[in-house]
Structure 1
Amino acid sequence: MKTPSEDGRLADQLSIGFLTSVFPISLLDEVIGVSGCAERRRRALPARLTIYYVLALCLFSDKNYDQVMRLLLNGLAWRSRWVYTWEPPSASAISRARARLGAEPLRVLFCRVTGPVAEPQASRSWLAGLRPVTMDGTTLVVPETRDNSAFGYPDGAARFPCVRVVAVAENGTHALIDATFGSSAVEERTLARRLLRCLESDMLLLARSGRWGFELWRQAAETGTHLLWGVTGADALPIGRSFEDGSYLSRPAGLGGAPLRVIPLPGAEWLITTLVDPGQASASELAARYAERWVMDSALAWLHSDRRGPAITLRSRSPEMVAQEIWALLCVYQAMRELTCQAASHEGASCTCARV
């Protein structure tokens, strides 16, 4: 029978195996080449090993830098039967290697692995031939250093600097489609506007528009995607044709007369959508799908989980390393979602509503 420590080592080795499986060396070399960070001389910590290390930091959030490096090297040795005989690098050497690497390779890696993963036959991942996706945001707390103070303190009351993250996720699988982040001083609507680049005509974007307004609605609609947003005060919208399902058409002046459909909900919230034909999707169907916008909670909450205690979310002490760490977290989350859906597909089940 294995001892608890042996079980722990096996789990650690499997975690490193997970990294090398979903982020193969060929992919890392491609990312390194695109990012222009290939080494001109041989180093003890080459770029590909440093990328694996930054990804491993996300899996072992309760370990310090030295411990994570030892776990990584042991895991690589176990997986490849390679035995290293040199002393693992110090924390300062690791920090220098991370600084040489920068954030760009992890951003490029995220762009390579991100995207929807739902299969066409996954009925819960589609509605009226459209792929429901949700946009939402959160803030991540970073260590208080002179450099990190540039991220700002939300509302002037926060104890630590914060980074604002906004992402779009596929509802059925919780897989990330795109993400961006910036200083907490940057308005969420500004970051949300960057993510309009990821929208496609076969998507249905779910969001709460209270903090974004009709301007972002108009810009999102111009991408060709369909929209389903929760709003307050929709009873002030002009009422046009009414439908049997309780919804009605409206042509707000702020949208230049473009039609939208209004769906009353219990309480003070209403839904507005570009799906103006009830035959395409009924009010009850749209309300049920809008209730699933909580899928973003699992993605955004995972960025917070078990990260250096209840206060500090990230561990990096400079803006460039914070960006590197955030991209790495998003990469690892996306890889875990894809593996979960692959496993569900092999079992003939749906990964809809599965949580990491």
Structure 2
Amino acid sequence: MDTKSVITRTTTVAGGRFAPGHLGELTQQVPFEMVDEALSATRTTQSRLRDLPSRVVVYLLLAACLFPEVGYLGVWRKLVAGLEGITTATPSGAGLAQARRRIGAAPLRWLFDLLRGPAASTPTASSRQPGTWWRGLLVCAIDGTTLTVPDSPAMLTRFTKQRGNHGGGGYPQIRLVALVACGTRTLIDAVFGPTTAGETTYTPRLLASLRAGMILLADRNFAAAGLLAQIAATGAQVLVRLKNSRTMPVLARYPDGSYLSTLAALPVRVIEAEITITTTAGRHTGVYRLATTLLDHRRYPASELITLYHQRWEIETAYLELKSSILGGRVLRARTPTGVEQEVYALLVVYQLLRTAIADATSTRPDTDPDRASFTIAWHTARDQLIQAADVIAGTVIDLIGTIGRHVLANLMPTRRLRVCPRIVKRAISKYQARGPAIDRTSYKATTAINILAATDP
């Protein structure tokens, strides 16, 4: 005998023209009042009530970052898909473009400034999560990447193409430099602009977000003495890689193999280590040289600092999630420099919302490393919740985890295994490059041996 099931769902959203203005469950992290305050603070609230109120346009821009594969009209259809029975506007593409220009980038930047942060609790025994804190210090990393923007005359007035083997690259690019909390991969701060300026040129604009109680991990590009002195002046500690060829004076030797030295006038402790990685394919040995402002060798052992430096790769994973998981390697939508600023801030806000949802969920299990949470599952669940217009407004019973968090916790990945992966282009841009000699693209399980090297006088 056939039976039927009837599903009845109640959807609670804003009223009238404001109904399409939501982000599914993520609206609880960026509620209506917050967006209204952003618009008020930046003086971009509509002067008269339109079919596309400014609040709705902000949510449209954020929603577009969850659906980079469709245009803004397609994003609008997803915003209203779960609003059955509610009369909504039917805007044109030109109307959406005009609305986006009307609010500009300021409200999105305001939201990012409010929402950015490490999403990490204090390092107490009950709240500590693996990889988030190390010896009472919040573990952070800084690095840069590039995003691709459309090739148009308006873009080329500000952004340039990268030089390549045959002249300029196919598209102009922008440079993004971010400060990331390694444990949760949340954004503490970020700046971006033309690629004509390098990573270290943008870094001073991030110094206001550094403070005592942090340890900043950085690669060799950030090892300029003047820049490190500026970072140290914020009260944050530094662990940075140095070039092996750099001459460092040996002022004092410590029992753990490290030694006291200086970078200009900045006292640092230098650690040199030989790291051997062994896989079934063979063995590879390399020498790492690190400098740190943590001068107490008893409290901060050299062997632990060498191991800690590996956490710097969490920022690379954050960029992977931003550029590959969300954007799918796509060119940004915006056609003007102002539009790019608007879109990038929206992208940073959405990334931060997803990462905060993940951090909140994993924090309910203190012994769970946040890197076991799948960003892709959180992203897809957020997309589903937006299409359904589900959980837009929190109920009377507060749900600390939410639907996104429950999906993440139900699908935790195994504890990360030590592996080595080749740093190569896995999909050749040119078919002629693809015909070159075979490259071993296999990821291997590995074991690591660390040998602290005794310093030799230069």
TM-score by structure 1 length?
Answer: 0.89
SS of match in other structure, 1:154: strand
Q: Which amino acid aligns with 1:291?
A: H
SS in 2 for 1:210: helix
Q: 1:24 offset after TM fit, Å?
A: 0.6
How is 1:150-229 mapped onto 2 (pairs within 5 angstroms)?
150-155=158-163, 157-210=168-221, 213-229=224-240
* Cα offsets for 1:24-66 (capped at 9, x unmatched): 1011011111111111111111111001000011001111221
Tell me which of 106, 112, 128 is aligned to 1:122: 128
Letter aligned with residue 75 of structure 2: V
Q: By how many angstroms is 1:309 displaced?
A: 6.2
| Counterpart selection for 1:345 from 348, 356, 363 | 363
Q: How many residues align?
A: 335
> Distance in 2 between the 1:251 and 1:20 partners?
49
CA distance in 2, matches of 1:146, 1:333: 29
Counterpart CA distance in 2 for 1:115 and 1:147 is: 33
Distance (whole Å) between structure 1 residues aligned to residue 269 and residue 181 of structure 2: 23
What are the superposed Cα offsets for residues 121-151 of structure 1, whole Å, 9 maximum, x if unpaired? 2153112211110001100000111111121
The one-letter code matched in structure 2 to 1:341 is: A
Whether the 8 Å contact between 2:129 and 2:370 is mirrored in structure 1 is: no
2:109 corresponds to which letter in structure 1? R
Find the residue that maps to 2:229 and give its secondary structure.
helix
Amino acid at match of 2:355: R
Query: What SS does structure 1 have at the residue aligned with 2:153?
Result: coil
Contact 1:204 1:228 in 2 (8 A): yes
Residue 270 of structure 2: which of 218, 240, 262 is its match? 262
Q: Which runs of structure 2 are paired with 1:24-63 in the superposition (5 Å)?
A: 24-63=31-70
Per-residue Cα deviation, 1:286-342 (whole angstroms, up to 9, x for no partner): 1111101111122212231267764x4311111111111111111111111111111
Distance, in Å, in 2 between the alignment partners of 1:291 and 1:306 is: 22
Counterpart residue number, 2:426: none
Find the aligned partners of 1:242 and 1:352 in 2 and give their Cα distance: 37
Q: Which runs of 5+ in 1 are unaligned?
A: 2-12
SS of the residue aligned with 2:250?
coil
What SS class does the counterpart of residue 280 from structure 1 fall into?
coil
CA RMSD for the aligned pairs? Answer: 2.1
Q: Which amino acid aligns with 1:301?
A: L
Question: CA 1:290 to 1:145, structure 2 compared with 1: closer, same or farther past 3 Å?
Answer: same
Q: 1:95 to 1:212 in 2, by over 3 A?
A: farther
2:223 and 2:241 in contact (8 A); partners too: no
**Structure index of larger Rg:** 2
* In structure 1, distance between residues paired with 2:245 and 2:299: 22
Question: Contact between 2:269 and 2:294, CA under 8 Å: does it hold in 1?
Answer: yes
* Corresponding residue of 2:451: none
Kindly provide the CA deviation profile for residues 247-286 of structure 1, in whole angstroms up to 9, marking residues without a partner as x.
111124x2x2x31100113224311000010122111111
Following TM superposition, by how much is the alpha carbon of 1:233 offset from its aligned partner in structure 2, in angstroms?
Answer: 2.9
Secondary structure at 1:265 match in 2: strand
In structure 1, what is the equivalent of residue 102 of structure 2?
100
C-alpha displacement of 1:246: 1.3
Which protein has the bigger helix share?
A: 1
Which aligned segments of 4 or more residues in structure 1 are displaced greater than 4 angstroms? Answer: 306-310
Aligned mates of 2:328, 2:136 — CA distance in 1: 43
Equivalent pair of 1:250/1:261 in contact (CA under 8 Å): yes
C-alpha distance in 1 between matches for 2:215 and 2:41: 32
For structure 2, the residue ranges without an aligned partner over 5 or more in a row are 4-19, 275-285, 376-458
Give distance in 2, aligned partners of 1:42 and 1:186.
Answer: 42
**Structure 2 matches for 1:317-336, cutoff 5 A?**
317-336=335-354
Aligned counterpart, 1:233:
244
Instruction: Report the 3-state secondary structure (helix = DSSP H, G, I; strand = E; otherwise coil) of the residue aligned with 2:289.
Output: strand
Q: 1:230 to 1:335 in 2, by over 3 A?
A: same
Distance of 2:355 and 2:75 partners within structure 1: 23
Between the aligned partners of 2:304 and 2:230, the Cα distance in structure 1 is 25
Give the conservation status (yes or no) of the 8 Å contact 1:136–1:167: yes
Provide the secondary structure at the position in 1 that maps to 2:47.
coil
Query: How far 1:16 moved relative to its partner?
Result: 3.6
Contact 2:358 2:370 in 1 (8 A): no
The equivalent residue for 1:4 is none
Identical amino acids, percent of aligned pairs: 36
CA distance in 1, matches of 2:152, 2:178: 26
Shift of 1:211: 5.2
- Give secondary structure in 1 for the equivalent of 2:34: helix
Counterpart among 236, 240, 253 of residue 242 in structure 1: 253
Partner secondary structure for residue 281 of structure 1 = coil
2:401 is matched with which residue?
none
* Structure 2 CA distance for partners of 1:211 and 1:135, relative to 1, 3 Å: closer
Residue in structure 2 matching 1:143, options 144, 150, 172: 150
Q: Deviations over 1:224-263 (max 9, x none)?
A: 11100011136610012111221111124x2x2x311001
Query: What secondary structure, in the 3-state scheme, does the structure 1 residue paired with 2:290 have?
Result: strand
For 1:6, the equivalent position in structure 2 comes to: none
User: One-letter code of the match for 1:83?
Assistant: I
The answer to which of 123-132 and 102-111 deviates more is 123-132
- Structure 2: how far apart are the matches of 1:212 and 1:243? 22
